[in-house]
Each structure stands twice: as structure tokens, then as C-alpha cells.
Amino acid sequence: RYFGCGGIDSIQVITGKFAAFAASIAGPWDQAAQLIFAKELGLCVSKFDGSDVNYLEGGDWVISNMAAYEDLLAILKRF
């Protein structure tokens, strides 16, 4: 489900309500704060291909708990 705001959706992952969130087009403003929270809480964050997110550039990204991360990346890599 997408609420229409990457910040709101990623907060759902940060608070444990969602297992993961993925966005194909995100601006740096959609990623920067969430990346800080995610890293502090031990959540997984990467681009769709598993590489590091550069929050100054934006683009595709995933934020996920550890249990869902590998499965989500496998699904995204198929498309």
C-alpha cells in the first residue's frame, strides 16, 4: 500500500507497522531523514540492486526490516 508520501510510508517501517517500503522515484528530501532513523534502528536500506543509497542524489530505494529485506530485493530484481 502506498499512502502517497514516501516519508509517511517509511515511517510505517521505522515504527514496525510495515515490513518494508520501496520507491522507484524518490528525491533526496524523501530519503535523508529516513536513512538516519533506519541506520540507527538497524533496518536495511539500499537501492533496488542492493547497493548503497546516496541520499544526495535520490532515486530508487528500499527500507526494510531484516526478515523481509532479501525477499523484497529478489522480487525487485525480477522486474
What pLDDT is attached to residue 4?
64
Question: What is the pTM assigned to this prediction?
Answer: 0.84
What pLDDT is attached to residue 2?
59
Local confidence pLDDT in tens for the 79 residues of the chain: 555 677 788 889 999 999 999 998 888 888 888 888 998 999 999 999 999 998 888 899 999 999 999 999 999 988 8
What pLDDT is attached to residue 35?
87
- Half-sphere CA count of 45, side-chain side, radius 13 A: 22
What are the two backbone dihedrals, phi and then psi, of residue 22, each rounded to the nearest 5 degrees? Answer: -135, 140
